[in-house]
Amino acid sequence: MSNEVYSIPIRYRKMENLHIVFWLLKDISWCMIWKPLGIAMIFPTLIIAIVITIRTRQFMSEVCHNVAIVVWITANSYWMISEFLHFDSNPLFGDFTYKHLAIIPFSIGLLILAYYYIWWKPKHPLAVETM
């Protein structure tokens, strides 16, 4: 077990906490069908997730988890918009509707995490990780 400490500068932690506020506002707006606020909250939520990913790029564990969060927010936002604009239940092909396209970024997130845990992490046992 390593004695290394991973610390987050306070300005980054504040940004991460604000990110949670934006994310919750987006999802509450979705739940309450507050379309303008829900759509507006996509941008700060996604931008901060991308900034967090860039700032933590020196740690593979952080990059993989944060990229998974970015694609999760993307999928979640697409799904919300599809419901707001009422094309979520339109047929795409077979039993699949436009809402089901959200499975693409959700799956990308899972694949990124699978890559990290199944392939990268076992091949780099001495790498510093934060998870």
C-alpha–C-alpha distance, residues 80 and 55, integer Å: 28
DSSP alpha helix (H) spans, the chain: 10-32, 35-55, 60-84, 103-114, 121-123
Q: Tell me what pLDDT residue 2 has.
A: 60
130 pLDDT tier (thresholds 50, 70, 90): confident
Model pTM score: 0.91
Q: Is a pLDDT exceeding 70 seen at residue 71?
A: yes
Torsion (CA) 82, 49, 60, 114 in degrees, nearest 10: -20
Contact between residue 45 and residue 19 where contact means Cβ atoms under 8 Å apart? yes
- What's the pLDDT tens digit per position in 108-125? 999 999 999 999 999 998
Q: What pLDDT is stored for residue 11 in this prediction?
A: 85
How confident is the model at residue 129, as a pLDDT? 72
pLDDT mean across residues, the chain: 94
Query: Residues of the chain with pLDDT > 90: what percent?
Result: 84
